[in-house]
Amino acid sequence: MKIRLMIALLSITWVGQAFAHAVVTEDSLKTTPIHAHQATQVELSFNSKIERGLSQIFLVSKGDKHTLLTIAEGHKQGQILINVPSLEPGDYALRLKVFAADGHLTEDVLHFTVAK
């Protein structure tokens, strides 16, 4: 009986923690390609509100070069807008360090390609 109770309590704790982190639910990189030599804005939506002032997003380019990008609040709760500078054709990534409103840190990497 004690083992079943412990398993039940651990399951409840684990499920609560799984929803405590900010997870990307939508990103405009999937629907809107980034064109070479054009500054653009990428939209990310999360499953929870984001602490924008504590979060950081880096552009990762060839040679593992990291450039801090500016972010703004989106129109919906949990949405942020990322200002991406004009880029040369090639492979890139956005490295996310995002704090959910409850203080949990989520790190993620979103890869994308800029076509010629």
Measured between alpha carbons, how far is residue 115 from residues 13, 18, 35, 88, 90 in Å? 44, 36, 6, 8, 7
The pTM for the full model equals 0.80
How many beta carbons lie within 10 A of that of residue 114, not counting itself? 20
Can you give the residue range of the structural domain that contains 66?
2-114
Q: What is the pLDDT along the chain (116 residues), one digit of tens a residue?
A: 555 544 444 444 444 444 568 999 999 999 999 999 999 999 999 999 999 999 999 999 999 999 999 999 999 999 999 999 999 999 999 999 999 988 899 999 999 999 88
- The sign one gets for the Cα dihedral 26, 32, 33, 36 is negative
- Are 72 and 42 within 8 A, CB to CB? no
Domain count, the chain: 1
Three-state secondary structure along 77-90? CCEEEEEECCCCCE
- Are 58 and 95 within 8 A, CB to CB? yes
pLDDT at residue 70 in the model: 97
Measured between alpha carbons, how far is residue 28 from residues 3, 25, 45, 65, 102 in Å? 46, 11, 9, 23, 25
26: Cα separation from own chain's centroid: 9
CATH value at residue 13: 2.60.40.1220
